[in-house]
Structure 1
Amino acid sequence: MGILVFDDMKMLDVSGPAEVFSEAGRFGAEYRLTIVSVSGEPVRTSIGLRVPADAAAESAPPFDTVLVPGGDLLPGTPIDPDLTAAARRLAERAGRIASICTGAFILAAAGLLEEKRATTHWQHTTLLARSYPSLRVEPDAIYVKDGTTYTSAGVTAGIDLALALVEEDHGPDLTRDVARSLVVYMQRAGGQSQFSASLQGPAPRTPVLRLIQDMVQADPAADHSLDRLAERVRVSPRHLTRMFRSELDTTPMKYVELIRFDMAKALLDAGHSATEAATLSGFPSYESLRRTFARHLGVSPTRYRHRFTTTRPAVDATRPALPDVPGNR
């Protein structure tokens, strides 16, 4: 396995996936990591640490898998042609290639994402789509697989992608052992939102709205109807609705639902059943929770919870199945 490194790359984009593959070795998997730089010289990471290289891209051997990390300077700035050439050379002889976070900009600049589905950090998905119109950017995915090309979202999503690659190679049982050993989720489903739905916008600034947020989070199953919320904060229902529209561009009831939705996800993550998650997070029924999950994530609560037994995202019936990558990496 080759990891293409370069100056100012994100350290966690390299160390996170590398730890997954290294840990997999403790459970019987065989991954040999090779650090590759353009020239074979050491590079300096975003936190100032120097990383030595094992080989130069020009002389590196073929790899079953090539990983390309991201860096803060990649979006919106010209990418070194030598770096894109190195990525292209490594990809041409690789069984599969994967980018972490903004590493997708390197793959795109190298022409490796033409007509492919891809993702990157949510802050840069719009720029990626605008800069490379032939890409089909999926802005709300943890990782995307298109044939033998993989792209992932921001930073820690590289760990999710690494676990998914390990499962392709060695199955869910070994991968579950790796995830437990590293104390991480088996994997956040590939099509899952990159961030909490109720955190997609800024936190409320108005004291009244912050108070409502605190009240709902403290007791999600309580009566949080519009009239009851307005009564608690001593404003009229109409005025409260205007406040939500003005500051958060939503309604009080939709905001309450988002908070309950986040809590239900956390409960499912902790091992609760879908029915328990619905009750404890304040949804009136499982069916209500199911509709909310379908609207926000496109999967049922049960399918979402299934992520603890497999790293594979649910198959989207509207898309053709993509071939698995055979063999051991």
Structure 2
Amino acid sequence: MEERVEERVVVLVGYDGAELLDIACVTTSLATANRLGASPAYTVAVATPGGRAIGCDSGLALQGQRSLERTGGPLDTLVVSGGFGHEAAAANPRIVGHVRRLARESRRVASVCTGATVLAAAGLLDGRRATTHWRYAGRLASGYPEVTVDPGPIYIRDGNVSTAAGVTSALDLTLAFIEEDHGAELARAVARGLVTYLQRPGNQAQMSMFTATPAPRNGLVGRAVEHIAGHLDGDLTATALADRAGVSERQLTRLFIEDLGKPPGRFVRDARTEAAAHLLTSTSLTVASVAAQCGFGTAETLRQAFVGRYGTPPSRYRAAHGGPAA
């Protein structure tokens, strides 16, 4: 007979230079789940070196609730936060050693943002696919070649180890944990309580095509991107965009590649696919209607774009991520 779990103990590892939002997204989501009836409830604590207060990126101090050195398992979930102090934490053998020790005593291990660097330093990402904040993905990949770094998704779950991308993606990963532990209904109730998306799928891109950072350096490209965002169902061919910008198609393509790393056609396709993913998971529009609103013209064209971007057709994507039926 399966042993009844009385509580789900969750420990977040913090250190000097940790990002407070990385921690709060997890703790607030789990506290909300408890208030809404999670059973067994989550017992959440922040563990820091020596149990002392840590200075967060924002300049605020956060008091540790447990000493990292004296924290022991079994744990339900171990989460390592990110922040500008992640490299110093990853270079600290005591922090890394205790993270490695606690991981062995945890059912589930996760990192938020650049906390993936600490997991990698502990050897916990070896042979795994992982993500981190897009700005630091190259550095993680070069520093830990045994880790398959994918900077695209907002979170990745590989076995019992999960890595979330930048900052607020911790919210999406935590909602996924709540759904796994207590079902979709509670996860949705938590999302509503936090006034956030019901839940972004893990394979959604970290950066919206419409709010990508850094912004285009070239003003012409920036204006073209703004036009694309507001006219997804319009004529967005490279020819039409070039005519609108008053340059040749060749010049527009060169400027897009220099600023955004992709030609106009690829940028438009990605933007339309991302917008379609949002509509599929947040509305009951038919696939054909979504295709029309996002400028794909036909459901088949949308299907091809979806399979290329997400590896699954639109209808399965909607079903897998809890979107409302058409």
TM range (shorter): 0.7 to 0.9
C-alpha deviation, 1:250, in angstroms:
4.2
- Give the 3 Å change call, closer, same or farther, for CA 264–88 of structure 1 in structure 2: same
Q: What does residue 124 of structure 1 align with?
A: 136
Instruction: Note the 1:273-284 alignment, pairs <5 A.
Output: 273=285, 274-284=287-297
Deviations 1:48-105 (A, max 9, x none): 2222222212322412211110111324886211211221222222222211111111
Q: What does residue 14 of structure 1 align with?
A: 23
Partner of residue 49 from structure 2, selected from 13, 38, 45:
38
Letter in 2 for 1:119: T
- Give the 3 Å change call, closer, same or farther, for CA 169–224 of structure 1 in structure 2: closer
Q: Secondary structure of 2:13's match?
A: strand
Q: Secondary structure of 2:156's match?
A: strand
Q: In the aligned structure 1, how far is the partner of 2:137 from the partner of 2:251?
A: 36
Q: Secondary structure of 1:303's match?
A: helix
Q: Secondary structure of 2:198's match?
A: coil
Letter in 1 for 2:280: L
Q: In the aligned structure 1, how far is the partner of 2:24 from the partner of 2:112?
A: 11
Q: In the aligned structure 2, how far is the partner of 1:132 from the partner of 1:242?
A: 33
- Give the 3 Å change call, closer, same or farther, for CA 20–76 of structure 1 in structure 2: same
Letter in 1 for 2:295: G
Matched, 1:64 2:76: yes
Partner of residue 285 from structure 1, selected from 279, 295, 298:
298
Instruction: Note the 1:40-119 alignment, pairs <5 A.
Output: 40-62=51-73, 63-75=75-87, 79-119=91-131
> In the alignment, is the contact (CA less than 8 A) between 1:57 and 1:89 conserved in 2?
no
> In the alignment, is the contact (CA less than 8 A) between 1:75 and 1:124 conserved in 2?
no
> In the alignment, is the contact (CA less than 8 A) between 1:27 and 1:174 conserved in 2?
yes
C-alpha deviation, 1:200, in angstroms:
5.4
Matched residues, percent identical? 37
Q: Secondary structure of 2:42's match?
A: coil
| Unaligned residue ranges in structure 1 (runs of 5+) | 311-329
Q: Secondary structure of 2:79's match?
A: strand
- Give the 3 Å change call, closer, same or farther, for CA 169–228 of structure 1 in structure 2: closer
> In the alignment, is the contact (CA less than 8 A) between 2:18 and 2:82 conserved in 1?
yes
Letter in 1 for 2:132: T
Q: Secondary structure of 1:268's match?
A: helix
Task: Between 184-193 and 21-30, report the one with greater CA deviation.
Answer: 184-193
- Give the 3 Å change call, closer, same or farther, for CA 277–58 of structure 1 in structure 2: same
> In the alignment, is the contact (CA less than 8 A) between 1:67 and 1:97 conserved in 2?
yes
- Give the 3 Å change call, closer, same or farther, for CA 304–183 of structure 1 in structure 2: farther
> In the alignment, is the contact (CA less than 8 A) between 2:90 and 2:96 conserved in 1?
no
Q: Which structure carries more relative contact order (alpha carbon 8 Å, separation 6+)?
A: 1
Counting matched residue pairs gives 310
Report the TM-score when normalising by structure 1.
0.83
Matched, 1:298 2:298: no
C-alpha deviation, 1:201, in angstroms:
7.3
> In the alignment, is the contact (CA less than 8 A) between 1:75 and 1:127 conserved in 2?
no
Q: In the aligned structure 1, how far is the partner of 2:293 from the partner of 2:190?
A: 30
Q: In the aligned structure 1, how far is the partner of 2:123 from the partner of 2:44?
A: 25
- Give the 3 Å change call, closer, same or farther, for CA 248–169 of structure 1 in structure 2: closer
| Unaligned residue ranges in structure 2 (runs of 5+) | 1-9
Q: What does residue 168 of structure 2 align with?
A: 156
Q: In the aligned structure 2, how far is the partner of 1:244 from the partner of 1:11?
A: 35
> In the alignment, is the contact (CA less than 8 A) between 2:17 and 2:86 conserved in 1?
no
Moved over 6 A (4+): none
C-alpha deviation, 1:175, in angstroms:
1.1
Task: Between 138-147 and 260-269, report the one with greater CA deviation.
Answer: 260-269
Deviations 1:104-141 (A, max 9, x none): 11111122222222221112222212211222222222
C-alpha deviation, 1:13, in angstroms:
0.7
C-alpha deviation, 1:253, in angstroms:
3.3
Task: Between 197-206 and 39-48, report the one with greater CA deviation.
Answer: 197-206
Q: What does residue 148 of structure 2 align with?
A: 136
Q: In the aligned structure 2, how far is the partner of 1:194 from the partner of 1:265?
A: 13
Instruction: Note the 1:186-265 alignment, pairs <5 A.
Output: 186-197=198-209, 203-237=215-249, 240-241=252-253, 243-244=255-256, 248=260, 250-265=262-277
Q: In the aligned structure 2, how far is the partner of 1:230 from the partner of 1:105?
A: 42
Q: What does residue 323 of structure 1 align with?
A: none
